[in-house]
Amino acid sequence: MTGDHTNQLPLADLHAAAGARFGAFAGWNMPLTYPAGVMKEHLHTREHVGLFDISHMKLFLVTGPGAADLINRACPLDARALDVKQSKYTFFLTEAAGIIDDLIITRLGDERFMVVANAGNAATDEAHLRTLAKDFDATIEPLDRVFIAIQGPEAAAVLGKAGLATEELFFMQGFEPRADWFMSRSGYTGEDGFEIGLPEADARELLGKILADERAMWIGLAARDSLRLEAGLCLHGNDITPDNDPASAGLMWAIPKDLRADGAFIGRAALATILADGAKQKRVGLKPEGRQPVRSGAELFDADSKLIGRVTSGGFGPSAGFPVAMGYVSTPLAKAGTRVFADVRGTKVPVDVHSLPFTQHRYRKG
């Protein structure tokens, strides 16, 4: 894609008909809110079912005898140890262990893997994979799919009514229910839910059934952000970037312990050094005092007015009932309850380090 060209969602007409207000995100023209508004959309997802068009995200099929080895090189993951249907949260790292992107990789077969990447990094990720693939007997196929997320406590029931069986799938599992379809039990809200990649014609048919169900409602990017922020989930480009490593970002749970010493992944040596020395900063939850949210980019200070970190995401948490944020602080201050101060337009706002998530995850793990 060139320069300032904005990509349009294949289902843009459905969103316009639903009264969406559009705005730019990661090179795409995306629905930000619908007439219900961000508060109602957010709470509806937590109580019933939210429907998200995430077709800006990219699906890559990685296949071939060298597919697992390619993934083991690109990610701190043991692709051969994944069961068929198992999904794993992982990343592409730089040699310095910076996070190029965070991904979900699902094993679909012995030599068949699905990689789900973020919109803003789709081109970078594809180029990165293709460069690495030269050393492996593996094929990378970017898929042209509509991608939708169905999230919330009634998601399985709504999909069942629409004719899609979900009993076979638990949290962080994915499979191909039919040709050219990919379905996983995962999401970005902290609720139970599903993500389905499918051809546009099939998507329109499925959405017709889902939207006929009063439990389901379209949700825009604004509520997607407040939902994931309450759930303590990272947004790449904000909370994790190539300037952050998995140790600082509090994401070491995603890297199997045995790989830290002898994995084949890019960035292993740098990450080992960071782990040995101890990360200088840590990603934390932040709870501002009062009702005023603190926003991404706000600098954080200690009681002696020393700069100790910054906010990477912030907003109001409709389910939490108070402003929520996350960011990085110096490691000694990364304990829940520690008081720091955010600079909000020249005013020092008291902010407490808070455990993540702000709202409990409700995944269906079996």
Which segments are annotated as binding site for substrate?
195
Q: How far apart are CA 110 and CA 127, in angstroms?
A: 24
DSSP string covering 264-310, please? --TTHHHHHHHHHH--SEEEEEEEESSSPPP-TT-EEE-TT--EEEE
Angle at 65 between CA 62 and CA 69, to 5 degrees: 70
Asked if residue 357 has a cis previous peptide bond (ω within 30° of 0), the answer is yes
Residue 212's identity, in one-letter code, is A
> Whose structure tokens read 């389905």?
196
Burial 86-101 (b: 16+ CB within 10 A, else e): ebbbbbbbeeebbbbb
CB within 8 Å of 310: residues ≥ 6 apart:
297, 298, 299, 300, 327, 328
Instruction: Note whether 75 and 92 are within 8 A (CB).
Output: yes
Q: How far apart are CA 361 and CA 340, in angstroms?
A: 27
Element at 222 (helix H, strand E): helix 221-230
Residue ranges of the annotated binding site are: 195
| 3-state SS assignment for residue 3 | coil
Q: How far apart are CA 270 and CA 276, in angstroms?
A: 10
Residue 195's identity, in one-letter code, is E
Q: How far apart are CA 200 and CA 297, in angstroms?
A: 38
